[in-house]
Structure 1
Amino acid sequence: MKVLVTGGAGFIGSHIVDQLLAGGYRPVVVDNLSTGSENYLRSEVPFYRMNIQDERLSEVFRAERPDAVIHQAGQSSVSLSIENPAGDAETNILGTIRLLEGCRRYGVKKLVYASSAAVYGNPQYLPIDEKHPVSPLSPYGISKYTPETYLQAYRDLYGLSYTVFRYANVYGVRQVPHGEGAVISIFIDKLLRGEPLTIFGDGEQTRDYIYVEDIASANVAALEKADGETLNIGTGISTSINELIRVFEKTLGRKIDRAHGAERPGDIKYSYFDNTRALRLLDWAPKTDLESGLKRTFEYYSQACMQ
């Protein structure tokens, strides 16, 4: 099966490409390299450097004729979406529509779409399941949710199968240390610089942290399973910032300096997923516990600093 991966040179997408190759699939990558790197790609993988809203995207579909698409490309910053909502929408909504049109015109059988926990807004109950009301708080949350409705329409109108994934907080090797969801990467960057870790508020705010390779394996599983489903992809484990730092201290075998800042307005206090449906429908489960994932990620960046 040939699989087009948008954002395939990026943090999550490059891990998906690695697992596709290992599974005998034939990946093709589209990426504008705004956050990705060609260093993450293998020479045998066809690569097209372009934005997903580029009119030339149809030429990629015509040349490659993919059987499926895994859609990871997008604008992923909440703050940038607030500063420039039109630009956010152009990438996340209009770019996805252009991708869907390529799927329709060239007979793609399935699209796997990376949505976000941001579609839920402030949790009304925990853990968050897929029945939780959708109430995004930012243009980013809106622009990640809107393509979900387009996918439903394209299935009904044109028979395009899909699976939607709403990601928890993804971390791991190759992550860029900035952005609202990259707290682990930001912490590692500060640790390697010898700087204290900043805790905003009391540090008891919680998130669901999932290792990138587990996210990648869920995407590969969805090529064959969970048609027409919207699934939460996380660990189902709630971890506070204070707990996260304690795991870092255990991993590194030393105390970590901390700085404290005021609680940031607009931050969601508590959030974690119910991943029961993903476990059942994908025949999938996250394999990397937080301590192991942090150790692997820290070692990766430590080695990169020494090169």
Structure 2
Amino acid sequence: MKRILVTGGAGFIGRWVVKQLLNDGHKIWVLDDLSNGRKENIAEFINHKNFEQFIEGDIKDLRLLETLFLNDYDLCYHLGASINVQDSIDNPLTTFENDTIGTFHVLEQCKKHNVKLVFMSTCMVYDRATSSTGLKETDIVKPASPYAGAKIAAENMVLSYYYAYDLPTVIIRPFNTYGPFQKTGGEGGVVAIFIKNKLNNKLLQIYGDGTQTRDLLYVEDCARFVVETGYSDQVSGEIINAGLGTDISINDLAKLIVQDESRIIHVEHIHPQSEIPKLLCNFEKAEKLLGWKPQVSLEEGIKRTEEWVKSTNLL
């Protein structure tokens, strides 16, 4: 049994990480400022015998962090971040402060208390995939948005603590994650938004020409990857991708979900300068180091997500 802090644990991916950690028998603390997360996401865990505490707070609150880390954690999954690309373009300072400065403050506490850190980065740091084998961790990065820039800066800080202080850290770059508990509004992922519009008999709006591709990873596969990087001693100082290993154009994704092309329209892109034309993950490193590979197909994942959306009051 480990004592674990999950920042951003009330968010979409965070709640699935918390669920698996509880299932695995660990004691869990969740820190979330609820700017992206929701208390409802973790409501089912609050009375779990190993769910120690939910703290509504900010990773930039130094006094709060100092108090929290007195709990003698073994491990910190750092998922708390500003994640919206357009928001980062409109207000880069907030994204930089949360994603880079906030990560620095968490790192400082992990160093002080010798706590392993798993840092959630993003596939948005990459340039477009140019190979049929997909993007590898050694491929070049291209900060096409302040969100990507802030994440790259934070990645470098995380690696510096591994090299300078021998702090066990790992950087993870999940590709486009979707599934139950993802927001279905403007801040949500494309799969959730498309499904909601389909069920509400609305048009599915595609930004630009729709030829841009995404590698879509089901959230439970993602959470399993996140959790296992924390358990492994083989991944310290590493950067590791996770994805499905196949990509799909947004046009084809819309057709797969709605199955009626007359309900699909194209609109002007809100941030074409930050669009990555092709995202395709190579997850060979995760398979080699962790034995991880995705288990849920895109078709099955869409089915599960649609069933969840139908079961909620999010329509």
Q: TM-score, normalised by structure 1?
A: 0.92
When residues 181 and 35 of structure 1 are mapped into structure 2, their CA distance, relative to the original with a 3 A threshold, is closer
Query: Matches of 1:174 and 1:149 in 2, distance apart?
Result: 30
CA offsets, 1:30-66, max 9 Å, x none? 001112122222123211110111121111001x211
> How many angstroms apart in 2 are the aligned matches of 1:66 and 1:174?
27
Residue 65 of structure 2 is aligned to residue 57 of structure 1: yes
The residue identity in structure 2 corresponding to 1:36 is G
**Aligned residue pairs: how many?**
302
Q: Which amino acid aligns with 1:101?
A: E
Q: Deviations over 1:151-208 (max 9, x none)?
A: 1211122221111111211101111124677111111221232101113344322110
Given candidates 106, 119, 124, the residue that maps to 1:113 is 119
The equivalent residue for 1:184 is: 191
Q: Which residue of 1 aligns with 2:8?
A: 7
Q: Does 1:172 align with 2:179?
A: yes
Query: 246, 253, 259: which is aligned to 1:237?
Result: 246
User: Could you list the runs of 5+ residues in structure 2 that have no partner in the other structure?
Assistant: none
Is contact 1:31–1:51 with CA below 8 Å preserved after alignment?
yes
**Is the 8 Å Cα contact of residues 115 and 166 (structure 1) preserved in structure 2?**
yes
* C-alpha deviation, 1:232, in angstroms: 1.1
Q: Structure 2 matches for 1:204-215, cutoff 5 A?
A: 204-215=211-222
Q: Match of 2:173, SS?
A: strand
Q: Structure 1: give runs of 5+ residues left out of the alignment.
A: none
Cα separation, 1, equivalents of 2:187 and 2:220: 20
TM-score by length of 2: 0.90
Secondary structure of 1:285's counterpart equals: coil
Alpha-carbon separation, structure 2, partners of 1:140 and 1:30: 21
The equivalent of 1:261 in structure 2 is 267
User: In the superposition, relative to structure 1, how do residues 39 and 2 fare at CA in structure 2: closer, same or farther (>3 Å)?
Assistant: same
The residue type equivalent to 2:8 in the other structure is G
After TM superposition, give the deviation of residue 261 of structure 1 in Å.
2.3
Overall identity of the aligned pairs, in %: 36
Does the 8 Å CA contact 1:77/1:179 hold for their aligned counterparts?
Answer: no
Corresponding residue for 1:228?
A: 237
Name the stretch that deviates more: 121-130 or 187-196: 121-130
Counterpart of 1:26?
27
Q: CA deviation at 1:124?
A: 4.9
- Does residue 1:195 correspond to 2:195, yes or no? no
Aligned to 2:148: 141
Q: Which amino acid aligns with 1:121?
A: D
Pair 263,75 (structure 1): closer, same or farther in 2 beyond 3 Å: closer
- Kept in 1, the 8 Å contact 2:161–2:167? The answer is yes
Work out the CA distance in 2 between the residues paired with 1:141 and 1:181: 18
Question: Which one of the candidate residues 74, 79, 84 is aligned to 2:81?
Answer: 74
Instruction: Give the SS at the match of 1:227.
Output: coil
CA 8–149 in structure 1, closer or farther in 2 if over 3 Å, else same: same
| Distance change in 2, residues 1:306/1:210 (3 Å) | closer
Secondary structure at the residue paired with 1:216? helix
Inter-CA distance 201–78: structure 2 relative to 1 (3 Å threshold): closer
